[in-house]
């Protein structure tokens, strides 16, 4: 293997542009090839980003590729990642890694047997804002975390995505699509979850596409679109998580954590940056002092204004971790635990019972400003 991880990508949909655009910012890896079931999509991205367009089978067999990123639809994440590992290559997947615990355990078995590594998005918890919150919690600024709330709610993906079918199929829904950002950040900030309970609902049985070539076409809804969850952590903290695609407006904060000495207010875990506020006992909420974390610097324009986007940071951390022989922050173990949380929430919604999780994990290592700079070129 070369000093840089030579990376291929399977799946050239919307999210691939973020990977192709941002990967050059990071050390330890170089994306050289891409594949898609639609060869025209692969060729278009290859031409735009100076890559080699290949068929997936050829990419899997390529001797000059060390790792493959899986950017296919959720239902294909497990079979494609399994093929990547079976081909003798490291794997990194978009979220969710798998749709069942059994699938995740199978991937772990293959990776261990072949001496390979597997990682998975989201990596937004590595962002400057969330690591600033992590430092404040680790330093005891608000005491011991005892409880909290997290909310991710909007009115659905069919309003902006031209092909939203997979969002409403099994493996989609707000918990498995947007929940990973919130669950991974809670694991980053608090640690692993012990058990969960939830109420779920599917108010609309079909959605109407509001843009693109399929404007006006309806999509069946085959998964819950509102989930009210309760998470009990091994630390003893209890957190409410609400995820919904049935809400047009609300006033809930993205994430608030309450400690024995104060509270901390964390920005949207779907992004790397933002302001972190904290309060001490009866004191006012104040923004934490600024710091020079490179993964919190705004670098892209969004409808909300300029925001920080450093997707592929997790892939870069995996590449460097492989070279250094250390733990991967976006590891299979933590990702699988997150899947356990999310699928157990859905199961609880079906059964009406609290679910004790099958998996456990450690908190990822803190990524301070110096460690973050070490990921960048």
Q: State the Cα–Cα distance between residues 118 and 52, nearest whole angstrom.
A: 23
Give, for 20, the enclosing helix (H) or strand (E).
helix 16-22
Q: Which pLDDT score, from 0 to 100, does residue 315 have?
A: 98
Here the contacts of 76-83 (C-beta below 8 Å, separation 24 or greater) are 78/103, 78/106, 78/107, 80/10, 80/11, 80/56, 81/107, 81/118, 82/106, 82/107, 82/110
Where is 128: in which H helix or E strand? helix 128-138
d(C-alpha 99, C-alpha 102), whole Å: 9
Q: What is the pLDDT along the chain (377 residues), one digit of tens a residue?
A: 457 999 999 999 989 999 999 999 999 999 999 999 999 999 999 999 999 999 999 999 999 999 999 999 989 999 999 999 999 999 999 999 999 999 999 999 999 999 999 999 999 999 999 999 999 999 999 999 999 999 999 999 999 999 999 999 988 999 999 999 999 999 999 999 999 999 999 999 999 999 999 999 999 999 999 999 999 999 999 999 999 999 999 999 999 999 999 999 999 999 999 999 999 998 999 999 989 999 999 999 988 889 999 999 999 999 999 999 999 999 999 999 999 999 999 999 999 999 999 999 999 999 999 999 999 99
Which CATH superfamily groups domain 127-306+332-362? Dihydrodipicolinate Reductase; domain 2 (3.30.360.10)
Strands 118-120 and 90-93: parallel
Per-residue model confidence (pLDDT) at position 1: 46
Per the listing, tokens 């990642």 go with 81
ω into residue 98 within 30 of 0, thus cis?
A: no
Model pTM score? 0.95
CA angle 42, 86, 2 (to 5 degrees): 70
What pLDDT was estimated at residue 3?
Answer: 79
CA–CA separation, 342 and 223 (whole Å): 13
Q: What pLDDT, on the 0 to 100 scale, is given for residue 2?
A: 56
Q: Which residues pair with 278 in a beta bridge?
A: 264, 286
| Chain region(s) in the chain for CATH 3.40.50.720 | 5-120
Which helix (H) or strand (E) segment holds residue 313: the answer is: helix 313-324
> What 3-state DSSP class applies to 348?
helix
pLDDT at site 346: 97
Domain 5-120, CATH number (from 3.40.50.300, 3.40.50.720, 3.30.565.10, 3.40.50.10260): 3.40.50.720
Q: Which part of the chain is CATH 3.30.360.10?
A: 127-306+332-362
CA angle 236, 239, 241 (to 5 degrees): 150
CA proximity to 49, closest of 71, 96, 16: 16
CB-based burial label for 360 (10 Å; 0-12, 13-18, 19+): middle
CA angle 10, 51, 62 (to 5 degrees): 55
């Amino acid at each position: 293997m070369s000093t840089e991880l030579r990376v291929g990508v399977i799946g050239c949909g919307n999210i691939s542009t973020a990977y192709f655009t941002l990967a050059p910012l990071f050390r330890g890896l170089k994306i050289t090839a891409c594949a898609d079931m639609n060869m025209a999509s692969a060729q278009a991205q290859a031409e735009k980003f100076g890559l080699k367009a290949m068929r997936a089978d050829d990419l899997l067999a390529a001797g000059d590729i060390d790792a493959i990123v899986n950017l296919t639809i959720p239902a294909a994440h497990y079979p494609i990642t399994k093929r990547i590992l079976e081909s003798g290559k490291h794997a990194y997947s978009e979220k969710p890694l798998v749709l069942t615990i059994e699938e995740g355990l199978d991937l772990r078995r293959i990776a261990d047997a072949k001496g390979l590594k597997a990682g998975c998005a989201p990596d937004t918890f590595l962002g400057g804002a969330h690591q600033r919150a992590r430092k404040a919690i680790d330093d005891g600024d608000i005491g011991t975390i005892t409880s909290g709330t997290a909310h991710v709610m909007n009115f659905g993906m069919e309003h902006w995505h031209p092909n939203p079918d997979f969002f409403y199929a099994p493996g989609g829904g707000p918990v498995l699509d947007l929940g990973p950002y919130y669950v991974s950040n809670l694991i980053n900030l608090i640690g692993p979850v012990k058990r969960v309970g939830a109420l779920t609902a599917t108010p609309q049985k079909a959605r109407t596409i509001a843009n693109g070539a399929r404007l006006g076409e309806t999509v069946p809804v085959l998964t819950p679109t509102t989930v009210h969850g309760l998470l009990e952590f091994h630390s003893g903290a209890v957190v409410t998580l609400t995820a919904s695609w049935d809400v047009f407006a609300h006033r809930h904060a993205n994430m608030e954590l309450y400690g024995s000495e104060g509270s901390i207010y964390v920005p949207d875990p779907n992004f790397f940056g933002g302001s972190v506020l904290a309060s001490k006992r009866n004191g006012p909420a104040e923004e934490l002092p600024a710091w020079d974390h490179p993964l919190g610097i705004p670098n892209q324009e969004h409808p909300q204004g300029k925001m920080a986007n450093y997707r592929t940071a997790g892939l870069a951390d995996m590449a460097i971790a492989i070279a250094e022989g250390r733990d991967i922050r976006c590891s299979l173990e933590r990702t699988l635990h997150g899947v356990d949380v999310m699928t157990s929430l859905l199961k609880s919604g079906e059964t009406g019972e609290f679910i004790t999780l099958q998996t456990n994990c450690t908190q990822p290592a803190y990524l301070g400003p110096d460690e973050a700079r070490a990921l960048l070129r």
